[in-house]
Structure 1
């Protein structure tokens, strides 16, 4: 069973954007796959070696050997003393080796695993770091950051005005070598910088700090130095709570820190990215992540992302279309369609995240907005399975009918703009470009979707059959009749044409077919996410009040009436939430299977009770789950009343009653998932 143990105040800090992240060496170690100079010990070892040849004066063999022995003692003061020595020898007047060493050592650290960095970015909080590398400026990230240091006179102002655009290097960046604070003596320059004024006046008043990547404390001497530094200037105010994220067993190293509380993210370092992703989405991701997943909360043609990793998706209502060469097609369920074909940038995140190996053509990773091509059907399926795994929602390739319906966007004919091709709306042979173009180059159709026609072929999830009727839409659009020719085929349908094919192949009804293993530099794909199912029937939830430590509970010995009890994670508080075709929720008890509903007396809408079956109560048991700040309201579909706490601040255990939906926190609930 998975239980959420994150302090409520930490979640509130993140939701209210009152937190600032402070990143240590552990982030660089994980993201570079343990590059030799990403840790402090590794960097100092490299520095000792460099000083043997280039120091002023050079270190002799005996001295360097003794320093390496001292380094292995893992003593913070000794490490800082060695750092000071390296800095002095390589910064000696007229010695250019300081810059060269930083570029050779720190500058060689590159992103090998994007998982942790993307998880940090997804929190959408200001970022400070004591690291010297430039990993967050990697162009393959979903939101690369600009690096600024305390040496930039205007840096504090830029960071204050647009904090999400930057990463503030507290101890400098290797790109700006004179900003790097390695030894103890360098702190004198830091204290007198404009940065300290910003720390004093802004951060200490506005934010609580969340320290990430500082391990057991002694792994990064910058941590202890930073804590002493901030404490001496009153920045770690008792009016703010601060947290350090640690793995199981390391929390004891932080018990004596001033006003800093350890929070365990898991048993191993690999648990940290997943933990970070749950912090801002601990509520939203379980019903419909951040307001966009439920048809009730999404407008048609609205663009959304499930996570920072994911492609832009557009919600499309069900409907019909008339193809000129095919006839009528019907989409019976709403879907979310990828706004663009999957891009080089999005594909690279998947490849780095999974260490994915595939047969590929040469990819220009600088042109990250091109559609990814050279992708087999199996590669595309692996990508959709990965999206499904990290988001909890079903991603797949579109069926042929879904692709055609989305491409035409309500138009009956060959293209969304009319009957005839033109180079204004698509990249094909007549465009005479002779190469792929960025996915956002051409105009969007009425569904706010782009790049369907020309540019690159797109895989569908339909097997090929010469008989088009065999690939008509079903409840599972990517499956066909069991005895059909397509079931025996190893070929799938591709749509849309490409940059070097004629316009005849671009028509919405046109199709080609390739074997699943095939790869071509003109073949890519886009994704679909299913939206008709909100919760699986085997998901169970604790329903917790936002404003108090209470959970919706059901006690059999109190006349079938649900009461609130203190949150103790007992099975009597577990609930199953099912969604009907009208997107209304039925909330039933995990053990008794009884349903949360109104009193049988329709006039007595101020109380709730438990009912044996849905048929007894009809719409009195149906609720819509409305998004509010910080959580959800559970609103009756019949009376427009809200499941709420009565007397939440009183000493007595309150009852459940119904209130008008004012949207305050007393009426807000968290849905905490439990899986067995």
Structure 2
């Protein structure tokens, strides 16, 4: 992850120069993955409603369904236009009824992501038609065709959510088919406001999980490409780790957007944003690799714990004595499983003539502790480590791994007991990255923890 780009976004939030641009991914998270929270799911629901009102449209629905499964975004927009045309021609305000029954009726299952966005006191722009943000924040809905209200929100954020593609209660504002996209993109007043934002604000795209394949996203980036060359502030798109690794930089950079990964799962987005918000309320260092404050570490360790639980689920954790215990202890504070943490006691090897080390070794030897050595450390392991069942998941967890072979030595010891061993650290040096299974950041310079 680019610490510079993340730091730039935090600074923008802190200084009141950030704008969140919210996509369907946020509504999907908040609604518990309700199908009509996504653009494609909404089209499918519209096709089904069209056939229900006119059974002769069954073949059209099946043909259109095949188009939706393809990769051509413009063809999908054409299907959306067909849905709108069919519903608008049906007697009885069927287009408005369908909007109310779908995006207007989305449940709020997980409100955390909505709360994080709302309390940041930054302008919120969204391509979503729903009112999930309004229902949790108390903000009003402002649509792209209400110029004065948009300007008020930009100047004094916190009272409204700006709907770039319309709001379900005002069906005339909803941008759904290709004719709607043409209308909003040719509206000079609303486009002027967006261009002005780009000159002074950092746009942070949140919840555009389909990225450039999302027509709502590509509709925005179409004019961003020509505009961004004249500004010094590039937008940031928050993307999943796998999307980032599969070439997000190469895909987003041509349209003037920087990609920043937020975690391996969609639900990591909430904790990532929470960390940025919390950090923006405290002192900001020039390099986040220099000083790690609690406002950053809190949500980071929470996210780190969730990732380890998902991918490994340790039966016990071996931590390192002293400050190295803080990171695993904080992670375990978020666990409901009661995973035992066993500390390894360490002494620098240059302390071989230390009376304290000799005293501890006598006590450890009498109790059957395991004694091993790395390049830099004398390590004593509690004898309980022998008693877990074969195949138990053992996690070696330290706050930092910046050199030496201590974790490799401990891995050999635990593997010798027949355990499945993984290694974790909050931060690692580049030369250690290859053999640490779980880590949050790669740090090359000096750093400071709050403990």
TM-score (ref. length: structure 2): 0.60
Give the corresponding residue for 1:194: 189
Give the corresponding residue for 1:314: none
Q: Deviations over 1:465-513 (max 9, x none)?
A: xxxxxxxxxxxxxxxxxxxxxxxxxxxxxxxxxxxxxxxxxxxxxxxxx
1:243 aligns with 2:236: yes
Shift of 1:288: 6.6
Q: Deviations over 1:67-92 (max 9, x none)?
A: 11221224312211101111222223
Shift of 1:219: 5.7
Give the corresponding residue for 2:118: 121
Matches of 2:3 and 2:218, distance apart in 1: 30
Q: How does 1:324-473 map to 2 (within 5 A)?
A: none
Q: 1:101 to 1:3 in 2, by over 3 A?
A: closer
Q: Deviations over 1:625-676 (max 9, x none)?
A: xxxxxxxxxxxxxxxxxxxxxxxxxxxxxxxxxxxxxxxxxxxxxxxxxxxx
Q: 1:541 to 1:157 in 2, by over 3 A?
A: farther
Q: Secondary structure at the match of 1:282?
A: helix
Shift of 1:225: 1.4
Q: How does 1:580-591 map to 2 (within 5 A)?
A: none
Q: Deviations over 1:363-401 (max 9, x none)?
A: xxxxxxxxxxxxxxxxxxxxxxxxx989x99xxxxxxxx
Residue 443 of structure 2: which of 551, 565, 569 is its match? 569
Matches of 1:254 and 1:85, distance apart in 2: 35
Shift of 1:199: 2.0
Q: Secondary structure at the match of 2:205?
A: strand
Give the corresponding residue for 1:14: 13
Larger relative contact order, structure 1 or 2 (CA cutoff 8 Å, min sep 6): 2
Q: Secondary structure at the match of 1:245?
A: strand
Give the corresponding residue for 1:131: 128
Q: How many residue pairs align between the two structures?
A: 305
Q: Deviations over 1:233-253 (max 9, x none)?
A: x26744212110001121224
Give the corresponding residue for 2:173: 179
Name the one with the larger helix percent: 2
Matches of 1:242 and 1:267, distance apart in 2: 21
Give the corresponding residue for 1:216: 210
Give the corresponding residue for 2:63: 66
Matches of 1:220 and 1:389, distance apart in 2: 38
Shift of 1:121: 2.2
Matches of 1:18 and 1:34, distance apart in 2: 31
Contact conserved, 2:294 with 2:450, CA < 8 A, in 1?
Answer: no
Q: 1:231 to 1:569 in 2, by over 3 A?
A: closer
Q: Deviations over 1:136-175 (max 9, x none)?
A: 111xx3x332111023353223323322211100000101
Aligned CA RMSD, in angstroms, stands at 3.4
Shift of 1:115: 1.4
**Which runs of no fewer than 5 residues in structure 1 stay unpaired?**
291-305, 308-387, 394-537, 543-566, 579-676
Contact conserved, 1:539 with 1:576, CA < 8 A, in 2?
Answer: no
Q: 1:153 to 1:576 in 2, by over 3 A?
A: closer
Give the corresponding residue for 2:25: 26
1:92 aligns with 2:71: no
Give the corresponding residue for 2:277: 280
Shift of 1:116: 1.1
Give the corresponding residue for 1:645: none
1:146 aligns with 2:140: yes
**Which runs of no fewer than 5 residues in structure 2 stay unpaired?**
284-291, 300-328, 335-397, 403-440
